Structure 1
Amino acid sequence: MSDTHSQEPDAFAPQASPGELLRREREAMELSREEVAEALNLRPAVIDGLERDSYEEVPIVTYRRGYLRSYANLLGIDAEQVLAAYQARFGSDDQERKVTPVHVVNKPPSRLGAWMFRLATLVVIAGLVGLTLMWWQSRGGSQPPTPGDNAPVAVDSLDGTTTITEGGGEPADEPAPAAADDAATASEAPGDEAASTEASSALTGDVAPSAPPAGATEAPEAADEAPAAALEAETEPADEAPAPDAGVLRLTFNEQSWTEIFDATNQRVFVGLQEPGTTARVEGEPPFRLTVGNATGVELVWRGESVDLVSRADANNVARFTLGE
């Protein structure tokens, strides 16, 4: 199929179109349009358009010429003669068909658009301000206190007392010295009156025997009881120091250790991999069931005494035991 076939003189006559040349050669080789389309990897409609000189399926001139050349090479005829026939019939149309350049006209922005943009910006700003005010009022929104507010204000004085003042002003002034003197005079008035009564009684000779002050007769008894109480305080033994809490374990991890502890209620009160240099305080109800890994690197204190973990460790340096049975 690649060999060039001998063509009849009228096949390449100037009046023959490129599609007619291709169709005659295809029919001479007994090929169908579908077989040609499959061989060229084109649609059968494209092959039919090329043979009918209808190029609606191939509007681009470059692709059109390429398809004609490929079709001629497939049939084994001279591709230049097919292209010459195409040029003779449709070359003038291709030259007149030019692409009109697209001119981009830059128009200045209209003043209406600028005003609309400014208006939209103002609306957005006003909306933000309104939302801020609504948020402020929803928080209890009141305005900050002003100097004219009359709400009561608590003021701490130097002696530790608190003074409530009205109107948010300065705390009330301290009483005047005259008022303090009047209060002192009022408090001392009963004593002065009693002293004047005793003086008048002495002048008239009616001096009544003064009654012993209340509790004077009881003072010796209280004095006698004081040494006895002191002796009892000295003879009573001092309170014994409270025993350490039996429900508290204190652990010090000098090396990395995995430790697990259960109390009497079968509740796991401590578990985890502990890092060197950490301590732990475990509370629960004794007796405790302990599993201490790397026991030689752990210190255990219970009831104020150190528990020997080394003697309780197995060959893997893991101590499993019950404490407080």
Structure 2
Amino acid sequence: MPETVRGIGERLRQARVRAGISPAEAGAKLKMPTHVIEALEREDWSRIGAPVFVRGHLRSYAKLLGLPADAIAANVAVPAPKAAELVPRTYTPRMQRVVEQTGRRLVYVLITATIAVPVWLATRSHLDGSANDAVPLDGAASLTLPQPATATTADTGTASARVQPEPLVASIAPMPQRPQATTAASDLTVSFSGESWVRVTAADGSVIEQALVQPGQQRVFKAGQLGQAVLGNAQAIAVQYQGRPVDLTPYIRANVARFTVSSDGSLQPVDR
């Protein structure tokens, strides 16, 4: 620990005693658990967590006690936590993936053929059977009826009366329809505009990610994948669910957002 910050925990404790407040009262004012206040005064940084959490808590506690918060938080040397090793939960052999993809494509081809071939055959037979009798709709006005070749002037009126126009047939063949694509449910997206330490666990309690995330990065979680999240530096985090922004204010304490995700994707505060 640097010489400039040696004994910072004792300095915080003495300032609290001079202010006449207990650790529980200080925690209530800062909305921090009492064990966090006690860990700060003992300089037990490992009890608090990542460096970003330690500096955030120190800054808030120092401001409450009237100490130079920025100088204290900037000079504290806190060892960075070891990044958690992510182990894949399931493994699918490459040959199995190829077989599954080929099977899905064959099913699509069979469904398309089942719909398209009968329609094409019906349309073709209809067109072949009525090709000689069908004429364009816009050509009906120019259709000339045949006249007898040897009709006399006297019989012209009688022959015209006997000749009837042939019926016109208009053919409109139905076109096969493409299957409508279904829209998948939107994911839960977490965007980081500042450095933040995150701990994300699944519904069964297993750790999905525990690391220090850099600005500009983003995390996307599928429906039902995320169980509980703890996000440091909450002011630099934006959460979206189904494309709509989520207000993190109800879940933030001491600039740390804590929430659980229910089965329908809604956020709920963590019971502490």
Taking structure 2 as the reference length, what is the TM-score of the superposition? 0.30
Taking structure 1 as the reference length, what is the TM-score of the superposition? 0.26
Of structures 1 and 2, the one with the larger relative CO (CA 8 A, separation 6+) is: 2
